[in-house]
Structure 1
Amino acid sequence: MTDTPTPVLAPATFQQRLLDWFDQHGRHDLPWQQDRTPYRVWVSEIMLQQTQVTTVIPYFERFMARFPNLRRLAAAEQDEVLHLWTGLGYYARGRNLHKAARVVVEEHGGAFPLHSLDEMAALPGIGRSTAGAIIAQSQGRRAVILDGNVKRSLTRLHAVAGWPRRPAVERRLWALADHYTPNHRLADYTQAMMDLGATLCRRGTPECGRCPFSDVCVAHARGEERRFPESKPKKALPTRTTRMLLLRDARGRVLLEQRPSSGLWGGLWSLPQFDDALALQAWLDIHAPDSRLDAPGASFTHVFSHFRLEITPQPARIGSLDSIGEARRWYDPDNPDAVGLAAPVKALLASLATFTLDMPPGP
């Protein structure tokens, strides 16, 4: 089997059809399409990974208002970056965005290494496709992209069998993407390829009747649009359990602790977590012996890509706590701090009613 399926159209014909469609039906007024600097394109590309445009727009605008350039982002604290990322999900993206900004400042003098696709792709959280998008969109230079939307369109167009992240399948898709990429109108072409997958060649309900390639699409000719791209072989998601301690003081504040910089919810602020009720009680016996437990809250499940987390909130009360240790803080739900919160924790904090406590306040 060769790496490249036989192209369905000559590159020039493919490009002309796509750009004609884009000129008439593409998206031309997205915030990051205005003033296409490498920085703005980069932030938008990272935010758009596995996230819809309509969700990203308000986050992008708030992010640009607070961090209008790369040096401002690099100088910020991670907490502030993750606070603006709260609710967007996939928080490693936010951490890598911050880390990459500091690398560019410290190792590249504050300017992206746009002369080198390899150096761009080596920056934290970027990779080959995002590097290509930044170069093509901001510089107008030829660079190939292969994000999820482009993979889906090319996979259907050629009926490429196999899960697109398998190395052999991905090589074939990169070869196709390179074959069709032009030497002109690169910003428009890359945006058009992303728009095609996002607006017409969608995952569940492709609009083949409006597609400029419906007459040559192999999956459409077979009536197998929904077969492609093929899904990753499924494995049953394991379930983990955790107890989240909702410890509140006499002022109604909630104790939070910062997660380690790597791993689950890295760098975000969360409720103290324990494997079971015994471990939670043991921690209270040591750190908050005067606390009182309330009845546990209703358990709920938060689903990650590789496991399910069953969370049981455990409310507790304390009059005061002299020392809360490092990487912990008191959080006032009525006057919230600007910190990054894990999504389930944000939901739990938002659901708290006005708090009253029938124990005397501490000194």
Structure 2
Amino acid sequence: MQLLDNKVEFRKSLLSWYKEEKRDLPWRHTSNPYYIWVSEVMLQQTRVDTVIPYYERFIDKYPTMETLALAEENELLKMWEGLGYYSRVRNLQIGVQEVVESYGSEVPNNRKTISTLKGVGPYTAGAVLSIAYGIPEHAVDGNVMRVISRILLIEEDISVPKTKKIFEDVVMELIDKNDPSSFNQGLMELGATICTPKPKCLLCPVREYCSAFFEGKQEELPVKSKKLKKKIIPVASFAIRNEQGQWLMKQRPSKGLLANLWEFPMVELKGDATPLEALIEQYNITPIEPDELISFKHLFSHITWEVKSFLAHLTGMEKVPEEFQYFTSEEVEALPKAVPVLKIWEEIKNV
């Protein structure tokens, strides 16, 4: 392969560009493996611009692994509120607890051991090892696969799990053993800013090594089979206030989707039932004066909620199911809530 014949020049071009052009991101000012770990977990399925303020608040709140290990779940979920995929922060805390209890608060510095920690997959392990410890280990994510597939004209389907091994092997052959941190971050940065789904080839520092560019196939790669369509579930959420101005809310179950987060009464819409009819049938709650608020879609990895929301009221005589509690506006503000509830709550505050 042309690239492998020129890998020294490829490395030099990539590292030179990265050191000149890299974005100034807060986690790039540290080699603390715990901080790197936190940043990588936050960056999974979340945009960099969104992550920055969360990362800074999180590290300020939990500056050491011991502080995170001892954090209460409600407080932790509140700190993560709006980032979504809440299992990430639960797994992060469990993994950190393992490090504190079993490894004397020292994040393991080898792939075999660090990979046993809860929530640490091959990519996170490689990122922490290379960035924090300077160990030449692969850290292959979607950005890296896009870059490498174009450089080497790899046409295997990246949605097939076993294909990832091809890219891991290539990275291990190419990686700069003197500066694996900059090499891995350079590949990630290139995929995030230049070698994007619509590539900016004229700005690319390694264009001369790119087989896909010379064959005009850069926009056809990487090959990725289409995902199955997500199941669409219509739901209705009712922000219900009593005569004292308190809000009716319940906590979701401790297992499953959005576990332990707080929400307004919400019902799945089936058949021809109206939202109000569905609410009465499921919870035997009959609010008065329901006014429609906002409608929106909320995407999960496997389903999509089509949400209709309503603002309504209850009289003092109305009984509510025991799983519900009333909260003042200040208390609602402090509860950990999922993004759909946050959207509704923000809308209410603007009414």
Length-normalised TM-score, structure 2? 0.88
* Cα gap change, 1:51 to 1:296, in 2 (>3 Å): closer
Distance 1:346 1:36 in 2: 34
Aligned to 1:182: 176
* Cα gap change, 1:282 to 1:293, in 2 (>3 Å): farther
Q: Which stretch shows the higher mean deviation, 254-263 or 330-339? A: 330-339
The answer to whether the Cα contact below 8 Å between 2:238 and 2:264 also exists between their aligned partners in 1 is yes
Aligned to 2:99: 104
* Cα gap change, 1:233 to 1:64, in 2 (>3 Å): same
Distance 1:65 1:168 in 2: 39
Distance 1:194 1:166 in 2: 21
Aligned to 2:143: 149
Structure 2 residue 94 is the aligned partner of structure 1 residue 95: no
Aligned to 2:272: none
User: 5 Å matches for 1:181-330?
Assistant: 181-204=175-198, 206-276=199-269, 277=275, 278-285=277-284, 291-292=287-288, 294-297=290-293, 299-320=295-316, 325=322, 328-330=324-326
Q: 1:34 aligns with which of 29, 32, 43?
A: 29
The alpha-carbon deviation at position 323 of structure 1 amounts to 7.5
Deviations 1:102-147 (A, max 9, x none): 2322333332222x31221232222011111111111112211102
Structure 2 residue 50 is the aligned partner of structure 1 residue 55: yes
1:352 counterpart SS class = helix
User: 5 Å matches for 1:2-17?
Assistant: 7-17=3-13
| Amino acid in structure 2 at the alignment position of 1:338 | A
Q: 2:63 aligns with which of 37, 59, 68?
A: 68
The answer to whether the Cα contact below 8 Å between 2:74 and 2:336 also exists between their aligned partners in 1 is yes
Distance 2:217 2:350 in 1: 55
Q: Between the two proteins, what is the percent identity of the paired residues?
A: 32
The alpha-carbon deviation at position 77 of structure 1 amounts to 1.3
The alpha-carbon deviation at position 172 of structure 1 amounts to 1.2
The alpha-carbon deviation at position 336 of structure 1 amounts to 4.3
The alpha-carbon deviation at position 347 of structure 1 amounts to 0.8
* Cα gap change, 1:282 to 1:52, in 2 (>3 Å): closer
| Amino acid in structure 1 at the alignment position of 2:337 | L
The alpha-carbon deviation at position 63 of structure 1 amounts to 0.9
User: 5 Å matches for 1:151-166?
Assistant: 151-166=145-160
Structure 2 residue 339 is the aligned partner of structure 1 residue 346: no
| Amino acid in structure 2 at the alignment position of 1:84 | M
2:254 counterpart SS class = coil
* Cα gap change, 1:132 to 1:243, in 2 (>3 Å): same
The answer to whether the Cα contact below 8 Å between 2:135 and 2:180 also exists between their aligned partners in 1 is yes
Distance 1:168 1:98 in 2: 29
* Cα gap change, 1:118 to 1:331, in 2 (>3 Å): farther
* Cα gap change, 1:331 to 1:160, in 2 (>3 Å): farther
The alpha-carbon deviation at position 333 of structure 1 amounts to 3.5
Distance 1:184 1:342 in 2: 43
Structure with a larger share of its residues in helix: 2
* Cα gap change, 1:354 to 1:178, in 2 (>3 Å): closer
Distance 1:226 1:236 in 2: 23
The alpha-carbon deviation at position 32 of structure 1 amounts to 1.1
Can you give the 5+ residue segments of structure 1 that lack an aligned partner in the other structure?
Answer: 356-363
Q: Which stretch shows the higher mean deviation, 132-141 or 232-241? A: 232-241
Q: 2:123 aligns with which of 129, 139, 146?
A: 129
Deviations 1:280-328 (A, max 9, x none): 203443xx57x536255554322223222122224432244787645x5
Deviations 1:198-231 (A, max 9, x none): 1211123x22112222112111112222211123
The alpha-carbon deviation at position 187 of structure 1 amounts to 1.9
1:330 counterpart SS class = strand
Distance 2:106 2:256 in 1: 29
